[in-house]
Every structure is written in C-alpha cells, then in structure tokens.
Amino acid sequence: MRIVAGIHGGRRIAGPKGETTRPTSDRVREALFSTLGPLEDVVVLDLFAGSGALGLEALSRGAARAVFVERDRWALTVLASNIAALGEPPERAEVRTGDARHIAEAAAKAGEAYDLVFLDPPYRDASRLGGDLGPVLARLLKPGARVATESDRRHPLELTDLPRTHERRYGDTLIRIHTT
C-alpha cells in the first residue's frame, strides 16, 4: 500500500498480516479522497483504523490531526510503525486502543468534536454496527462534518441517524458519505 497524495504521497505503508484486517485498496482510497476534496485543517477520527491508511492519507492531504482507534494488537503494531515511518508526531497522530464504540462514547462524553470520521469496520461486523454507532457519531460531529463508511455492498453499514450524501460501489466495496 502507499499514500496516494499530499506531503507523504507515494510513500509506502505496511498492512497487517492475516485476515483480521482488510486495508482499503489504493484505488478505492484515491476515489474516496477525490470525493471528499480538500482536507486542510480538519480533525479526523479513524475508527477501526487497521493500518491507519485512511487517517494517514488525510494527514498527508492537510488534516490538522487524526485520532486512530484500533483494538487488534497486530494492527496496532503496524499502525504505530506506519505513523513512525511517516514521521507524524503524537500531537497530530494519536492512537487509542480499544473498542470503537466505547472509545467514541467516551470521546462524545468528553466533548470532543470531529470534522471527518472514517468508519471502516470488518465487513462481517458492518451491518450490525450502524445502529450502535450512528447515535454516538451524531454527538461527535461538528456542523457540516462528514462520516465516510466502507462496507461490503451485500451487507452495508447503515447510519440511519445521519443523512447520506454520496454512495459509490467499487466491486464488492460500498463507500458512503454522510454529512451533518
């Protein structure tokens, strides 16, 4: 995998070994970020971060800060390695370890707010997560914020609490963008 564009454009990043993490392909990531447009100074929450490819791409393209949430220990190792390899300091790239819903709830209770949230859970879990995460995400979003989801087209992640403004399929991958 590689960072597609921005200050780290062309730099390679690692993906976790095994089947527990499925990194977003370069092609899908490039299409997603083209749809999102400029990201200067946005604050990003990357839930189910895996290798960190989405949040790191956002940082490369001008995001001010990214919070990465991951619970898989192998993915966390790769995530930390990718952040270090790109030279991102902790004040720009913060890693939180644990369950995405619990961390999102704690962030909402702490009054944190984000401009952009990436939600790319394991495909097998995506269809059941929307009902749990939708209400929590709504409390985490700044006005005009966006949530970009990635799931399998046959078992899509549904965020009924947030209006959907974009949807596109790439093979079996379904990308949706919800905007507040």
Domains and CATH numbers, the chain: 26-179 (3.40.50.150)
Confidence at residue 160, expressed as pLDDT on a 0 to 100 scale: 81
Confidence at residue 21, expressed as pLDDT on a 0 to 100 scale: 57
Distance of CA 99 to the CA centre of its chain: 14
Dihedral sign computed on CA atoms, order 65, 59, 164, 158: negative
Q: How far apart are CA 25 and CA 38, in angstroms?
A: 20
User: 10-residue block means of pLDDT along the chain (180 residues)?
Assistant: 93 77 76 96 97 97 98 94 97 97 96 96 82 89 96 89 92 93
Confidence at residue 20, expressed as pLDDT on a 0 to 100 scale: 53
Residues 143, 180 contacting (CB under 8 angstroms) = yes
- Does the model's pTM come out above 0.85? yes
Residues 156, 126 contacting (CB under 8 angstroms) = yes
Residues 116, 145 contacting (CB under 8 angstroms) = yes
Task: List the beta bridge partners of residue 94.
Answer: 67
